[in-house]
Chains A and B, each alone.
Chain A
């Protein structure tokens, strides 16, 4: 017979735990802000500028030989490549102007900022080819971002997050009541801050793909919150005499099996990427896995709890509002 992974009906008193949840969230947010303030984010070349070169590790190409061959200071590490073989990763910024020689000194100051990284790359690539006998084919990846573009990418990344939050706020306001909108966006901000905190704590690389992951977390968390809110609104109208707390608890319980199932399947897919999708996707899938947990948590303990504290106004939006979508059938 069918797998019963969850009892048919539960009656958990989530809202009794909301003060505990609030406390936990305050602690996590404080810690996140503390980490962001003290350790900062480990910005990748997308945002910090600089160059990353990846080489296949061989007998002659190791962390030690690459470090010894490089003419400038660079961060050289090993990592696991896509096909599980080890690779050597070198990360460096622009070299000191004094080391770039005559040609650089003659450049216009405006051109120097962008050229410095470029010239450093050329020197590094040439030195590695000479000293370690490499050819172009040995460079698995060679990404270099100048200071101008990295600044722009960072600003547009942050802008994307802010615009997304604002639009979600507007959408929920339009579909529900303002209390829901506040709850939903507080939950999203909570998710974003804590995820940034985790990236800071673990010093995981923060790059363009991480921004994509954050926006997806926002989308997912929103998805989860909306499902709960829809049910809260429905039950609120059905049981007019019932206190808010009970309505919310009941809604959370009736959507609980859906919440667990959906996060379960999404997690299954994400774990597949995390373990099998190769190193390029590992950071992104980690962020998403974390986001599923935090998003599910926040829709219960932040979004719903805030709606409960702010109270619901029954008479504002009639149930028939849904009719706008009926034509789609």
Chain B
């Protein structure tokens, strides 16, 4: 207990040096330091830095339904008149998590071509990526003489969700951070959630607006015959068309099947028109550009609508064929709106709408106030504890305060070194540790006092005190550590931050109280050799 061979002293000094180096960037600007020396201080949580936290979810029902809508198009192609095979008349509807394909044309005997239809649809059914045993993406079965039901089995749904979550994360990233420069963090949680954390002073409303749109972009032809419009206004919409509206265009009769879709767009960006007003420019890919050229060549004089999420953004007249695939949307946009719309269009369509489940915003001013209050409380708490310890234990109290200071340095160093996040409850955790860290010292000192009262010499009293207190100190700290570990595993956000500082604090305070204070004491005992030990 009282032996400190050189290797042990080196280890202690090494740990202290590491802690100090790690903690230093929090106090001093280390940007000029040589490589290899840490320059980054502790990460501050959003509650201290200010910022926006958003928890989003994509609904599995919706992902499945959207997937089935896409499959319905494939089914339409497969049942069509193709490769010399006859057309099979049918009607597809997506209802909840199933796609119903109803055959509509019986033959002369009143029988439906069920077998042929099943064969053609089953050909479309691929295997789930990475699945063992070749599990299929869809479950396709006949449910009556004229009805085929298509659904998504759970194994394939898992892959579908993983896929959708990955895609959504990419789109979220591209929408909120098109330049890829901001410090916004986007992380998945579970199989259908995404957590977005944007530090600083971002605009929460703008973020949510950016993310709550589907981003479904289409170019549709507009029907402008006066009779069709008049009929539609009376409620008789021309088949294959629907009424959509937009802030600048009013109501228009728009063809359902788009000419060009979001998938044909290569890039989108914000630019300016001749009058220096913000506009959105985009460029179609090769396929899109040729489709667009065809459309504009065949429909001269008509309007075409640029539709985003069922709202008409703009509906220019086609005057001449447009080659090259450069399109722009002009209108009454603010700069910010134009930038956001460009980001949404470029990022593409979400696999499913995101739902906001949990949203927290803290202003940067409140964060700074919290840091100031936390630091002040720590300093005052620390000084009160220091005074108390010195009054109670004299010189040994000074040793304890010395290791308490080392403890704080180690906690901050460990937080910085581990890349942990410091939250406001985390600061409370540090302060609590300050109070509780002295416990190990107190346990030892009380033991030493008792041993001295029992008539032992200073050296043997110290030896016995440390030996006897060890199991108590470990028991007491392991139980608290269990509580901290559970908090970390089950807690979220700021609570996790608290658990981390508490856990780190337990480890460092056992080290400083049991090793550092003991070393101080032993050095003093061996150097001064007191007859009586004032404690």
Q: Which residues on A are within 8 Å of B, measured CB to CB?
A: 1-3, 5, 8-9, 54, 81-83, 110-111, 114-115, 118, 121-122, 125, 136-137, 139-146, 148-149, 153, 156-157, 159-160, 163-164, 167-168, 171-172, 175, 208-209, 211-212, 215-216, 218-220, 222-224, 226-227, 230-231, 234, 254-255, 257-258, 261-262, 264-270, 272-273, 275-278, 280-281, 284-285, 288, 322, 325, 328-329
The reply on B61 being an interface residue by CB < 8 A is yes
**Cβ-defined contact, B482 with A278, below 8 A:** no
Closest to A228 in B: B472
The smallest C-beta distance from A47 to any residue of chain B, in angstroms, reads: 12
**Cβ-defined contact, A281 with B425, below 8 A:** yes
Q: List chain A residues, Cβ under 8 A from B450.
A: 254
A5 to B479, CA, bound (A): 29
The smallest C-beta distance from A268 to any residue of chain B, in angstroms, reads: 4
**Cβ-defined contact, A222 with B483, below 8 A:** yes
Q: List chain A residues, Cβ under 8 A from B355.
A: 111, 114-115, 146
Cross-interface CB contact of A163 among B382, B449, B490, B494, cutoff 8 Å = B490
Closest to A5 in B: B392
Interface bits B420-439 vs A (CB < 8 Å: 1, else 0): 00001101100110111011
Offer 5 A-B interface pairs, CB within 8 angstroms, sorted by A. A82-B372, A212-B498, A262-B438, A272-B384, A281-B374
A159 to B356, CA, bound (A): 25
Given A122-B205, A276-B373, A276-B380, A262-B442 contact (CB < 8 Å):
yes
The reply on B287 being an interface residue by CB < 8 A is no
The smallest C-beta distance from B50 to any residue of chain A, in angstroms, reads: 9
Q: List chain B residues, Cβ under 8 A from A118.
A: 208, 356, 359
Query: Which residues 331-385 in B have Cβ within 8 Å of A in the complex?
Result: 353, 355-363, 365-366, 369-370, 372-374, 376-378, 380-382, 384-385
The reply on B492 being an interface residue by CB < 8 A is yes
Closest to A326 in B: B470
Closest to B53 in A: A143
A2 to B355, CA, bound (A): 63
Q: List chain A residues, Cβ under 8 A from B203.
A: 136
**Cβ-defined contact, A171 with B479, below 8 A:** yes
Given A164-B486, A212-B498, A285-B428, A222-B365 contact (CB < 8 Å):
no
A129 to B9, CA, bound (A): 63
Cross-interface CB contact of A262 among B428, B436, B468, cutoff 8 Å = B436
Interface bits B471-507 vs A (CB < 8 Å: 1, else 0): 1101111111011101101111111001100100000
Query: Which residues 277-304 in B have Cβ within 8 Å of A in the complex?
Result: none
**Cβ-defined contact, B392 with A258, below 8 A:** no
The smallest C-beta distance from A143 to any residue of chain B, in angstroms, reads: 4
A169 to B498, CA, bound (A): 23
**Cβ-defined contact, B59 with A269, below 8 A:** no
Q: List chain B residues, Cβ under 8 A from A140.
A: 362-363, 365-366
Count of B interface residues, CB-CB < 8 Å: 87
Q: List chain A residues, Cβ under 8 A from B369.
A: 81-83, 278
The reply on B47 being an interface residue by CB < 8 A is yes
**Cβ-defined contact, A171 with B483, below 8 A:** no
Q: List chain B residues, Cβ under 8 A from A215.
A: 483-484, 486-487
Given A137-B363, A153-B492, A164-B357 contact (CB < 8 Å):
no
Q: List chain A residues, Cβ under 8 A from B353.
A: 111
A218 to B487, CA, bound (A): 12
The reply on B324 being an interface residue by CB < 8 A is no
A266 to B436, CA, bound (A): 6
Count of A-B contacts judged by CB separation below 8 Å: 258
The smallest C-beta distance from A212 to any residue of chain B, in angstroms, reads: 5
Given A2-B391, A219-B483, A281-B428, A226-B357 contact (CB < 8 Å):
no
A139 to B478, CA, bound (A): 42
Cross-interface CB contact of A216 among B1, B483, B493, cutoff 8 Å = B483
A172 to B361, CA, bound (A): 42
Centre residue among B204, B394, B475, B493 by max chain A CB count within 10 A: B475
Q: Which 3 A-B pairs have the closest CB atoms?
A: A266-B435, A269-B435, A272-B381
Q: List chain A residues, Cβ under 8 A from B486.
A: 160, 163-164, 167, 215
**Cβ-defined contact, B479 with A142, below 8 A:** no
A136 to B446, CA, bound (A): 56
Task: Please name 17 further chain A to chain B contacts, defined as beta carbons within 8 Å, in addition to the given A281-B424, A281-B428, sorted by A numbering.
Answer: A81-B369, A137-B201, A137-B363, A142-B360, A146-B358, A172-B479, A209-B498, A215-B486, A219-B502, A262-B436, A266-B436, A268-B384, A270-B431, A272-B431, A278-B374, A281-B377, A322-B471
**Cβ-defined contact, B442 with A139, below 8 A:** no
The smallest C-beta distance from A213 to any residue of chain B, in angstroms, reads: 9
Given A216-B502, A269-B431, A114-B483 contact (CB < 8 Å):
no
A31 to B61, CA, bound (A): 47
Q: List chain A residues, Cβ under 8 A from B468.
A: 234
**Cβ-defined contact, B361 with A141, below 8 A:** yes
A204 to B246, CA, bound (A): 49
**Cβ-defined contact, A325 with B205, below 8 A:** no
Cross-interface CB contact of A277 among B373, B439, B471, B493, cutoff 8 Å = B373
Cross-interface CB contact of A114 among B357, B394, B432, B492, cutoff 8 Å = B357
**Cβ-defined contact, A209 with B204, below 8 A:** no
The reply on B389 being an interface residue by CB < 8 A is yes
The smallest C-beta distance from A170 to any residue of chain B, in angstroms, reads: 9
A38 to B407, CA, bound (A): 45
The smallest C-beta distance from A127 to any residue of chain B, in angstroms, reads: 13
**Cβ-defined contact, A219 with B442, below 8 A:** no
**Cβ-defined contact, A273 with B428, below 8 A:** yes
